[in-house]
Structure 1
Amino acid sequence: MNFSELFKQTNSLCKFSPNGQYLANCVQYRLIVRDIKTLQIVQLYTCLDAVQYIEWSSDSMFILCGMYKRGIVQVWSLEQPEWTCKIDEGSAGLTAVRWSPDGRHILTTADFNLRITVWSLVNKSVSYIKYPKDAKPAMDFSRDGKYMALAERRDCKDYISVFVCSTWQLVKHFETDTRDLAGISWSPDGRVLCVWDTPLEYKLLLYLVDGRCVATYSAYDWALGIKSVAWSPTSQFLAIGSFDEKVRILNHITWKTVVTHSHPVTLDNAAVVVYKEVEKKPLLLRGETAPPEGFIFSIQSKYEVLPGSVQVPAVKPDPDKANPKIGISKLAFSGDNRYLYSKNDNMPNALWIWDVHKLSQIVLLIQAGPIKSVEWDPSHPRLALCTGNNKVYLWSPAGCVSVEVPSEATFQVHSLKWHPNGNAILLMGREHMCMCFIDADEDS
């Protein structure tokens, strides 16, 4: 593995282009585009204010910058740097912005979710969509880019509107059987739309494009319900993470539970490999109680395999605080549909890895610190994670490895992103970023 030098960045606003050729990042009001191979600056743009959001168009030809505080969106062209575009929402304000799948329309959401505006870069036309709901996510595009589903709130009821992205015509509008819709998600094959209700009521519904409800699922009543949802890449499975610290897998034929994965505090399963990170602190000279002032040292670490019964570190949530740190907040399938990871919020140092084919757990990672970011490699069955120190951790079926990021300054990795082809990882700290390039012989 090879590491680049450190580059400045702001608020982790760093995005790979969809074609994998460029890396865009922001430093305050400047947008910097680099060549991914050499990391040399290809384009440098100056925005009107500090940027809060960036996103590439699907064809990697344009990039937008959202400046929410001023209600402005600026769009830049990579091929024609002199071409400029500015969208000003004015008094309506701006809370969100994103590209349409064709890369030629921009959708902005006004303050208080008053409306969504569709701006065309082709003919400069503008159209409005009323009553968008404040949900996460409240808008989702089908994988093929044909349809857009939008959650709406009218007369104290939840609705779904389905639009054709080519003309932005409404093709279906139907009411959902939810009390307070919390999110929507298309299946990867675009056949089914998943809708889930408020955490106060465990309810998940599956609709076809024509508005027919094909299934309703509820695991229990009178307790906090769904916290996260993830589709498998093949659309065969739907994983539901709940506040009861369990992951339930539904199949795409009957929409019934295939398996339920628990996250116990005590793990006693010989079939599960438990990797625990063990830190080795540097030795001090005789008579020293602390390292000399200005001395920078790093704590080395390695993984040990724990046999027998294992106690998983857990934190008791505070019931008096909102959004309790309990339940499955993160889960995602690997790109080859072979593995699934899950993270239980009241076990912040642990990552659970499941074999989708065997419907059982195979690995438990126990880190020395709380896991801040974890992501699957798009092209290989492996994942990377970070815990806010100067290391990046990699897991694959072959094993685990802890890699220290070499840098003269103190660099702590708070989030990471894989390159689209899986040959590099972007590591981001509070104010800096660096690239980790993976050699071809390490792809396993």
Structure 2
Amino acid sequence: MDFTEAYKQTGPCCFSPNSRFLAIAVDYRLVIRDVASLKVVQLYSCVDKINYVEWALDSEYILCGLYKRPMVQVWSLTQPEWTCKIDEGPAGISNARWSPDSRHILTTSDFQLRLTVWSLVNTACVHVQWPKQISKVVSFTQDGKFAAVCTRRECKDHIILLSCQTWEIMGSFAVDTMDLAGIEWSPDDSAIVIWDSPLEYKVLIYSPDGRCLFKYSAYESGLGVKSIAWSPCGQFLAVGSFDQMLRVLNRLTWKIFAEFMHVPAIRGPSRAVIFKEVDEALQLDMSGLQLSNELSNTVQGSCPENIAESHSRVKYKVMDFPTSLPSQKPPLDKPNPKQGIGLLSWSHDSQYLFTRNDSMPAVLWIWDICHLELVAVLVQKEPIRAAVWDPSGPRVVLCTGTRHVYMWGLRGACSVTVPLSNFLVSDLRWSPDGSCLHLRDRDSFCCAALPSMELGPSDDSSDGDG
């Protein structure tokens, strides 16, 4: 695993969809670097601190959200002198994103006033009234032809379908939710999944014409859905809940075919492998050294008595059954309890998915959907900050805010130490083609290149330290 040197970064970053460029926010400046060499390709100056960065799908344009201004600035990679500013004035901007055609930008104003579609071609704009104030208010089909917008009027949630060619309203229908929390098209564009706020467990599947295909509620009188994710193949829908369970629906029958529990102790028999992060002391063999009496006394007086205790490396240890997992109980007198499936992601071949139960923040669970079983459990010393699948194969990379990067693959797990002084990995992300891994510290970043093959031989995969 090869690392680059550290570069400055104070804001968000984003790989271009073609994986050739990396956009980095440094205060009010946007730095575009070449992924292969990390040389600066373009440098743009915004009017305020950058809060959000997103590339257009054609990798030609890039937008910067300056939400405190509030304003959106757009830059062209091929025409550096070209620029565009979007200012909503007193209405404010809480969210901005590209449309699939890379020539329109959608912004959401504050206070649920309106969603605006801005054209970069003819400066025209289209307004949609009363959008929901949620993190993902719009979802596009995979072919980029339609957009589903979450709105709320007269105390009722509605879905509006827009054509991405003309931006005309193609249809609208009310949905059976108390307070809609999210929306997502299925990968084959044949269905739309929406889910209610945590106060009510409700998952609804609608057809594009507004027919309710399926309604699911696992239980009542408790906090409900916390995370949802379609499998890339579109056959499965994973639902993570506050009751610390993962449920998987079959797209063909809309039935629950798998339920996975996140238990505080794992007991055999089980095919799962439990990897626990431990510190291994480095034993220094000094028996072959011969020092003079004077030099020996100097060394003993200036060095710690136990040199092995001051030098150690991080490794994974394979645990036996039964194994208890570190967990914590959320306080009953505080809102938004840290429990339930807060992190959920599918592998790109749809065969595996990982989860993190927020009441066990230092534990990552990896499940095999084909065999409906637990494959591996990674037990870290610190809470998991981020975890991502390798786009090129079934491999997970994660970080915990330490100097180490942790990996799991089909042949085992290992840890790698970042060879940069005082570099603590707090976030990470892959380039779309899987050729580059971006690692972020608080005010800097570096990139790493991993071999495309799986982790090394199984006899040393559980104790590697890079």
Measured against the shorter chain, the TM-score band is: over 0.9
CA distance in structure 2 between the aligned counterparts of 1:374 and 1:255, rounded to whole angstroms = 28
CA distance in structure 2 between the aligned counterparts of 1:80 and 1:205, rounded to whole angstroms = 45
- What is the aligned counterpart of 2:348 among 335, 338, 346? 335
Aligned to 2:288: none
- Does residue 1:127 correspond to 2:126, yes or no? yes
- What is the aligned counterpart of 2:313 among 277, 280, 300? 300
- What is the aligned counterpart of 1:415 among 415, 424, 427? 427
Which residue type is aligned with residue 426 of structure 2? Answer: H
Kept after mapping to 2: 8 A contact 1:330/1:344: yes
Residue by residue, what CA displacement relative to the aligned partner does 1:411-437 show, whole Å, maximum 9, x if unpaired?
A: 100000011111221001110000001
- Does residue 1:373 correspond to 2:372, yes or no? no
Aligned to 1:106: 105
Which runs of structure 2 are paired with 1:190-339 in the superposition (5 Å)?
190-269=189-268, 270-280=270-280, 300-339=313-352
Which residue type is aligned with residue 412 of structure 1? Answer: L
Give the TM-score taking structure 1 as reference length: 0.95
Cα drift, residue 136 of structure 1: 3.2
Kept after mapping to 2: 8 A contact 1:248/1:257: yes
Q: Which runs of 5+ in 2 are unaligned?
A: 285-298, 457-466
CA distance in structure 1 between the aligned counterparts of 2:418 and 2:90, rounded to whole angstroms = 46
Kept after mapping to 2: 8 A contact 1:97/1:108: yes
Kept after mapping to 2: 8 A contact 1:184/1:194: yes
Residue by residue, what CA displacement relative to the aligned partner does 1:71-116 show, whole Å, maximum 9, x if unpaired?
A: 1111100001011111111111111111011110011111112111
- Does residue 1:429 correspond to 2:441, yes or no? yes
3-state SS of 2:90 partner: helix
- Does residue 1:401 correspond to 2:425, yes or no? no
Residue by residue, what CA displacement relative to the aligned partner does 1:42-67 show, whole Å, maximum 9, x if unpaired?
A: 00111111111110000000001110
Kept after mapping to 1: 8 A contact 2:238/2:247: yes
Aligned to 2:289: none
Aligned to 1:18: 17
Kept after mapping to 2: 8 A contact 1:279/1:368: no
CA distance in structure 2 between the aligned counterparts of 1:441 and 1:250, rounded to whole angstroms = 31
Aligned to 1:143: 142
Aligned to 2:27: 28
Cα drift, residue 37 of structure 1: 0.6
Which residue type is aligned with residue 243 of structure 1? Answer: F
Kept after mapping to 2: 8 A contact 1:5/1:434: yes
Give the TM-score taking structure 2 as reference length: 0.91
Aligned to 1:2: 2
- What is the aligned counterpart of 1:360 among 373, 378, 403? 373
Which residue type is aligned with residue 81 of structure 2? Answer: E
- Does residue 1:183 correspond to 2:195, yes or no? no
Aligned to 2:87: 88
CA distance in structure 1 between the aligned counterparts of 2:110 and 2:283, rounded to whole angstroms = 55
1:255 to 1:442, Cα distance in 2 relative to 1, 3 A: closer
CA distance in structure 2 between the aligned counterparts of 1:5 and 1:442, rounded to whole angstroms = 25
Cα drift, residue 332 of structure 1: 1.1
Cα drift, residue 138 of structure 1: 2.0
Which residue type is aligned with residue 115 of structure 2? Answer: I
Cα drift, residue 250 of structure 1: 0.5
Aligned to 1:73: 72
CA distance in structure 1 between the aligned counterparts of 2:302 and 2:236, rounded to whole angstroms = 57
Aligned to 2:44: 45
CA distance in structure 2 between the aligned counterparts of 1:121 and 1:132, rounded to whole angstroms = 22
Cα drift, residue 440 of structure 1: 4.5
- Does residue 1:438 correspond to 2:438, yes or no? no
Q: Which runs of 5+ in 1 are unaligned?
A: 292-296
1:288 to 1:353, Cα distance in 2 relative to 1, 3 A: farther
3-state SS of 1:91 partner: helix
1:17 to 1:32, Cα distance in 2 relative to 1, 3 A: same
Residue by residue, what CA displacement relative to the aligned partner does 1:6-58 show, whole Å, maximum 9, x if unpaired?
A: 000013x1110000000010100110001111110000111111111110000
CA distance in structure 1 between the aligned counterparts of 2:343 and 2:301, rounded to whole angstroms = 46
CA distance in structure 1 between the aligned counterparts of 2:423 and 2:316, rounded to whole angstroms = 21
1:77 to 1:330, Cα distance in 2 relative to 1, 3 A: same
Cα drift, residue 179 of structure 1: 0.9
Aligned to 1:294: none
Cα drift, residue 441 of structure 1: 5.1
Kept after mapping to 1: 8 A contact 2:70/2:88: yes
CA distance in structure 2 between the aligned counterparts of 1:286 and 1:334, rounded to whole angstroms = 53
CA distance in structure 2 between the aligned counterparts of 1:243 and 1:235, rounded to whole angstroms = 24
1:118 to 1:288, Cα distance in 2 relative to 1, 3 A: farther
Indicate the RMSD between aligned Cα atoms, in angstroms: 1.9
* Bigger radius of gyration among the two: 2
CA distance in structure 1 between the aligned counterparts of 2:183 and 2:311, rounded to whole angstroms = 43
Runs of 4+ aligned structure 1 residues displaced above 3 Å come to 280-291, 439-444
Residue by residue, what CA displacement relative to the aligned partner does 1:158-179 show, whole Å, maximum 9, x if unpaired?
A: 1111111111111110000111
Kept after mapping to 2: 8 A contact 1:380/1:443: no
CA distance in structure 1 between the aligned counterparts of 2:13 and 2:304, rounded to whole angstroms = 37
CA distance in structure 2 between the aligned counterparts of 1:327 and 1:262, rounded to whole angstroms = 11
- What is the aligned counterpart of 2:400 among 387, 404, 424? 387
CA distance in structure 2 between the aligned counterparts of 1:96 and 1:283, rounded to whole angstroms = 54
CA distance in structure 2 between the aligned counterparts of 1:28 and 1:117, rounded to whole angstroms = 27
Q: Aligned residues: percent identity?
A: 49
3-state SS of 1:10 partner: coil
CA distance in structure 2 between the aligned counterparts of 1:131 and 1:420, rounded to whole angstroms = 34
Cα drift, residue 350 of structure 1: 0.3
Aligned to 1:168: 167
Kept after mapping to 2: 8 A contact 1:372/1:415: yes
Cα drift, residue 352 of structure 1: 0.4
